[in-house]
Amino acid sequence: MHPSRPPVTAYVALGANLGDAQATVRQAMRDIDGLPGTTVSRCSSLYRTAPVDSSGPDYINAVVEVATELLAPVLLQALQVLERQAGRERPYRNAPRTLDLDVLLYGEAWMDGPLLTIPHPRMAERAFVLLPLAEIASWRVLPDGLLAVAGQRVERLLP
């Protein structure tokens, strides 16, 4: 038996724009909480956003904070399993999707690999990531960052 690792605080972005996107994102929050050695500690509100670098209907987006004993690449693999279980297909880059899960931040780690880059390389360009992240972890978003994405249409949905 391996000794467990101390949990790392990570942030995961959730998005969907096919099917019942709100239900899918809410279910994914529960599913993430069920991953081995992983507990969701905070969930943002849901946000409706226009597609960015994508097409199709509006997206439903959110961010969750997790405490996880999983290494970052293992967390990513587990999230990709959840995507596939939700019917995620990847016919082309930025295709509309039933579920998209991205590791935004993993503790204080910096990684730049072929499968995983942390911090997420485009998070600072996307209001649909920064607004829900700021809601649950304001210290992780610079005020200038929110100003940079102020022109993007994002609507916070009521619970």
Q: Residue 87's domain is classified under what CATH number?
A: 3.30.70.560
8 A C-beta contact, residue 87 and residue 20: no
pLDDT the model gives residue 94: 55
CA atoms within 13 A on the CB side of 85: 13
Per-residue pLDDT of the chain (159 residues; tens, 9 = 90+): 455 678 999 999 999 998 899 999 999 999 999 999 999 999 999 999 988 776 678 999 999 999 999 999 999 999 999 998 887 565 455 556 789 999 999 999 999 988 899 999 899 999 999 999 999 999 999 889 999 999 999 999 987
β-pair partners for 103: 12
Looking at the domain assignment, is residue 50 inside a domain?
A: yes
Residue 49 resides in a domain: yes
**Would you tell me how many other CB atoms lie within 10 Å of the CB of residue 85?**
13
Total of domains in the chain: 1
The residue segments making up the domain with residue 94 are 8-156
Whether residue 1 lies inside any domain: the answer is no
pLDDT of residue 1: 45
Helices (H), ranges, 56-116? 72-85
Which one is catalytic: 33, 53, 58, 102? 102
Residue 57 domain flag: yes
90 is catalytic: no
Task: Report if residue 139 sits inside a domain.
Answer: yes
> Of residues 88, 112, 122, 156, which has the active-site annotation?
88
Check 31, 48, 100, 140 and give the catalytic one: 100
Q: Is 48 a catalytic residue?
A: no
Q: Is residue 53 among the annotated active site residues?
A: no
Residue ranges with strand state E in the chain? 8-16, 38-43, 47-49, 59-68, 100-106, 111-112, 117-118, 154-156
SS3 118: strand
Residue 125 is encoded by which pair of tokens?
A: 């360009």
CB count, 10 Å around CB of 112? Answer: 8
Q: Is residue 3 part of a domain?
A: no
* Residue 74 included in any domain: yes
> Quick check: is 131 in a domain?
yes
Report the pLDDT value the prediction gives residue 18, as an integer from 0 to 100: 87
- Record the pTM: 0.91
Catalytic residue among 5, 20, 42, 97: 97
Which DSSP category does 99 fall into? -
